[in-house]
């Protein structure tokens, strides 16, 4: 499960945002409060000073403008007396300055030496010249504290007669402000601590359901739908948790349905005899079943993500866009010199409702047998037509000759009739053989089986051929002495052995041998008939059991063969539950083998 960084956690983000908002609010409140407090205290202090200065101003104005006699005290003495009565802890010094910037009096005992000197203060000059009061807060380095300087013109009848230069100790006001700010800062710290603690608990009420849903979502991503989100209340978070649990149930049901459908699809694909290939929208193979892999003779890692045209060997003739437009199936020829192998591919486009192509579905079918059957059918029709046309052509030419008057010639007429009779018999044999094969193919025949001792049965057929043979060919028998009882249809088995022996005699040279043998092999007896003929090329040995196939066509036709004898023998042996095959080497003769089922009989069962 992926861990969330500390500062990326929504719990921490919520608390930080909460604290930042509280800090911002407190900062704004603190700044406003400190500013208003400072302005209020300064204003109150200033008003207090001005109220007292106004009283001083009245007395000073009276003393400055008073007409004096010789007996009255001087102006400076009168002003000193007036100022001495107005000193306080707040007011540090009051100076009286006339319009010529001469200091007439001061309330500070330490600055009595300044009386009679000119004032060098710029504020005094501005106040006299502008006839308006000036005030400022300056830092007094000698006192090491801040003081408020107030310069107020003294007017009588709208005429400036002097100024009051007042310095007041405002440091106490700033100290009060600092004390109040410290109290405010401490209050903020305490309230912030309490707010953080409360914020943590508040954040948990919001983030705990979210954390539960996050863990549930991660568990769902891993396929675990058993977890449920705890519902903490009936508010929006509680309703969200209920909806999330409902979504979990729906997803679990959907996943179960999807997995079931996928298993069904996988089972269908795996058990299909046809090959199925699916591609993405770019034509790369994304899905293939085992049947398709077997047909293409490839492994899955060599097929996945490769272009479909390359996999099917069509890259030279078709692009992926071309395959999308294909409506008919395409034959894929993978045949080799040794073995034919033909597949047929059918293409189907998968697309959305908007028409956007998602890919292709390719169905492969092994068409080798069908092609082989079609080819054999075409070859069979061709062979039958050829086999019938040859005797019919011969008969027609001889009959035409007889019709033109050859029948009156006593020397050639009998010969023409014999040829016509021979070709007619040959066509009859051909038609009879074809009828036999047709009945065998349609399973319309039955075996009339009986138990016979095979050695005796086999010897009787060999003796018949040995008595009637015309060539100088020696028969050699390699038969066991033990009795071998088998259940066979004697008529059909006689026909099988007759066909094989007839072929052996046809192709055996004078002075050659024809060998016969019977051996016991497990639950079968194996019969062997061998000759010393010209043999058959190795590539064609297995074809001698095909219909109309002749190792030596000219000699077979001259001897009246139809090319169907061994094909009939093969069908009859298969009907008995056995197998037939041949072994041959060119120039060294041919050996035909066939097997028949054999069951060991208990002693005393046969009379």
Tell the residue number behind the tokens 């036999």, with chain if given: 436
CATH 1.10.287.130 domain span(s) along the chain:
372-441
Q: How many CB atoms lie within 10 A of CB 547?
A: 20
Looking at per-residue pLDDT, the higher value among 200 and 348 belongs to 348
Q: How many percent of the chain have pLDDT more than 90? A: 5
Q: CATH 3.30.450.20 occupies which residues in the chain?
A: 11-177, 272-366
CA distance 177 to 195: 26
Structure confidence at residue 533 as a pLDDT band (50, 70, 90): confident
CA-based nearest residue to 109, from 120, 97, 89, 94: 94
Work out the angle at residue 193's Cα, subtended by the Cα atoms of residues 190 and 199, and round it to the nearest 5 degrees: 140
**Is the model more confident about 459 or about 492?**
459
CB burial readout 400-431, b (16+ within 10 A) else e? eebeeebeeeeeebeebeeebeebeebbeebe
When the pLDDT of each residue in the chain is averaged and rounded to a whole number, the result is: 79
Q: Which of 314, 342, 382, 333 lies closest to 547 in space, CA to CA?
A: 382
Q: Give pLDDT, residue 319.
A: 87
pLDDT-based confidence at residue 433 (cuts at 50, 70, 90): low
Q: Which residues pair with 276 in a beta bridge?
A: 363
> 595: pLDDT confidence band, cut at 50, 70 and 90?
very high
* pLDDT range class, residue 1, cuts 50, 70, 90: very low
- Tell me the average pLDDT across 31-36: 83
User: Is the predicted pLDDT of residue 79 greater than 70, yes or no?
Assistant: yes
pLDDT at residue 516 is higher than 90: yes
Give 450-597's CATH code, choosing from 3.30.230.10, 3.30.565.10, 1.10.1530.10, 3.40.50.720. 3.30.565.10
Does the pLDDT of residue 593 top 90, yes or no?
yes
In this predicted structure, the answer to whether residue 600 has a pLDDT above a threshold of 90 is no
Q: What is the pLDDT of residue 518?
A: 92
Domain 11-177 fold is Beta-Lactamase (3.30.450)
Which residues sit opposite 60 in a β-bridge? none
Give me 584's structure tokens: 């041959």
User: Which is more confidently placed, 555 or 77?
Assistant: 77
For residue 251, CA distances in Å to 217, 226, 227, 229, 244 come to: 11, 11, 13, 15, 10
Output the furthest CA–CA distance in the chain (Å, rounded). 210
Residue 387 is predicted with a pLDDT of: 62
> Are the beta carbons of 498 and 490 closer than 8 angstroms?
no
Instruction: Over range 92-107, report the average pLDDT.
Output: 81
Among 562, 505, 549, smallest CA distance to 529 is for 505
| pLDDT above 80 for 594 | yes
Quickly tell me which residue has 């591609």 as its tokens: 279
Residues β-bridged to residue 361: 278, 348
Q: Give burial (CB, 10 Å; 0-12/13-18/19+) of 354.
A: exposed
In tens, the pLDDT along 229-266 reads 777 777 777 787 788 788 888 888 888 888 888 788 77
Which of these ranges, 211-225, 250-264, 586-600, has the smallest mean pLDDT? 211-225
State the Cα–Cα distance between residues 143 and 56, nearest whole angstrom: 24
pLDDT at residue 437 above 70? no
CATH 1.10.287.130 given to domain 372-441: yes
Per-residue confidence (pLDDT) for residue 447, from 0 to 100: 75
Residue 306 has pLDDT above 80, yes or no: yes
pLDDT (mean) for 327-356: 82
pLDDT above 70 for 308: yes
CA distance 219 to 601: 72
Name all contacts of 195-200 with Cβ < 8 Å and 24+ positions apart: 195/18, 195/19, 195/22, 196/15, 196/19, 199/14, 199/15, 199/18, 199/19, 199/22, 200/15
Residue 574 clears pLDDT 60, i.e. is over it: yes
Task: Grade residue 605 by pLDDT with cuts at 50, 70 and 90.
Answer: very low
pLDDT at 408 over 80: no
Q: How confident is the model at residue 2 (pLDDT cuts 50, 70, 90)?
A: very low
- Mean pLDDT throughout 182-211? 79
* Res 607 pLDDT > 60: no
Lowest-confidence range among 137-141, 424-428, 437-441, 450-454?
437-441
Pull the structure tokens for residue 221.
């991503």
Q: 526 pLDDT band (50/70/90 cuts)?
A: very high
Q: Does 41 have pLDDT greater than 80? A: yes
Fold of 272-366: Beta-Lactamase (3.30.450)
- Predicted confidence band of residue 9 (pLDDT cuts 50, 70, 90): low
**15: pLDDT confidence band, cut at 50, 70 and 90?**
confident
Considering the chain, tell me which residue range(s) the CATH 3.30.565.10 domain(s) occupy: 450-597
- pLDDT at residue 527 is higher than 90: yes
Average pLDDT, integer, range 499-505:
85
| Amino acid 67: pLDDT | 67
Mean pLDDT, to the nearest integer, of 192-220? Answer: 77
What confidence tens digit (pLDDT) does each residue in 152-184 have? 888 887 788 888 888 888 888 888 888 888 888
- At 604, the pLDDT band (50, 70, 90 cuts) reads very low
* pLDDT confidence of residue 324: 85
Residue that wins the pLDDT comparison between 223 and 450: 450
């Amino acid at each position: 499960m992926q861990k969330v960084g500390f500062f990326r956690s929504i719990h921490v983000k919520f608390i930080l945002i909460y604290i930042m908002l509280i800090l911002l609010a407190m900062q704004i409140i603190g700044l406003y409060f400190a500013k208003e407090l400072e302005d209020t205290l300064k204003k109150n202090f200033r008003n207090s000073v001005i109220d007292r200065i106004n009283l001083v101003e009245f007395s000073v104005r009276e003393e400055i403008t008073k007409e004096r006699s010789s007996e009255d005290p001087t102006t400076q003495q009168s002003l000193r007396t007036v100022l001495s009565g107005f000193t306080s802890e707040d007011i540090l010094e009051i100076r009286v300055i006339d319009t010529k910037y001469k200091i007439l009096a001061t309330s500070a005992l330490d600055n009595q030496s300044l009386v009679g000197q000119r004032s060098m203060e710029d504020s005094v000059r501005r106040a006299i010249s502008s006839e308006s009061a000036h005030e400022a807060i300056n830092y007094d380095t000698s006192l090491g504290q801040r003081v408020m300087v107030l310069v107020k013109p003294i007017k009588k009848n709208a005429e400036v007669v002097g100024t009051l230069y007042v310095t007041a100790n405002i440091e106490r006001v700033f100290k009060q402000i600092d004390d109040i700010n410290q109290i405010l800062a401490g209050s903020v710290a305490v309230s912030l601590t309490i707010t953080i603690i409360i914020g943590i608990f508040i954040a948990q009420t919001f983030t705990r359901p979210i954390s539960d849903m996050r863990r549930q979502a991660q568990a769902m991503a891993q396929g675990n739908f058993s977890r449920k989100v705890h519902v903490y209340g009936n508010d929006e978070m509680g309703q969200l948790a209920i909806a999330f649990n409902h979504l979990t149930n729906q997803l679990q049901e959907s996943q179960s349905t999807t997995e079931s459908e996928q298993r069904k699809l996988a089972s269908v694909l795996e058990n299909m005899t046809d090959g199925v290939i699916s591609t993405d929208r770019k034509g790369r193979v994304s899905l293939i079943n085992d049947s398709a892999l077997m047909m293409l003779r490839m492994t899955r890692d060599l097929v996945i993500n490769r272009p479909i045209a390359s996999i099917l060997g069509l890259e030279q003739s078709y692009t992926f866009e071309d395959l999308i437009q294909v409506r008919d199936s395409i034959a894929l020829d993978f045949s080799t010199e040794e073995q034919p192998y033909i597949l047929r591919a059918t293409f189907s486009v998968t697309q959305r409702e908007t028409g956007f192509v998602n890919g292709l579905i390719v169905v492969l079918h092994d068409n080798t047998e069908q092609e082989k059957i079609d080819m054999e059918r075409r070859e069979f029709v061709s062979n039958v037509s050829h086999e019938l046309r040859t005797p019919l052509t011969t008969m027609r030419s001889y009959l035409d000759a007889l019709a033109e008057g050859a029948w009156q010639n006593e020397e050639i007429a009998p010969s023409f009739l014999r040829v016509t009779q021979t070709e007619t018999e040959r066509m009859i044999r051909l038609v009879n053989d074809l009828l036999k094969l047709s009945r065998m193919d349609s399973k319309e025949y039955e075996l009339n089986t009986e138990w016979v001792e095979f050695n005796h049965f086999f010897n009787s057929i060999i003796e018949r051929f040995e008595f009637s043979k015309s060539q100088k060919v020696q028969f050699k028998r390699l038969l066991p002495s033990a009795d071998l009882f088998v259940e066979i249809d004697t008529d059909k088995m006689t026909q099988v052995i007759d066909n094989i022996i007839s072929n052996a005699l046809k192709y055996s040279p004078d002075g050659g041998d024809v060998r016969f043998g019977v051996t016991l092999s497990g639950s079968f007896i194996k019969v062997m008939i061998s000759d010393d003929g010209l043999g058959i090329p190795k590539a064609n040995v297995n074809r001698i059991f095909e219909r109309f196939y002749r190792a030596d066509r000219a000699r077979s036709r001259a001897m009246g063969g139809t090319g169907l004898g061994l094909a009939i023998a093969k069908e009859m042996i298969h009907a008995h539950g056995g197998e037939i095959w041949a072994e041959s080497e060119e120039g060294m003769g041919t050996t035909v083998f066939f097997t028949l089922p054999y069951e060991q009989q208990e002693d005393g069962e046969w009379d």
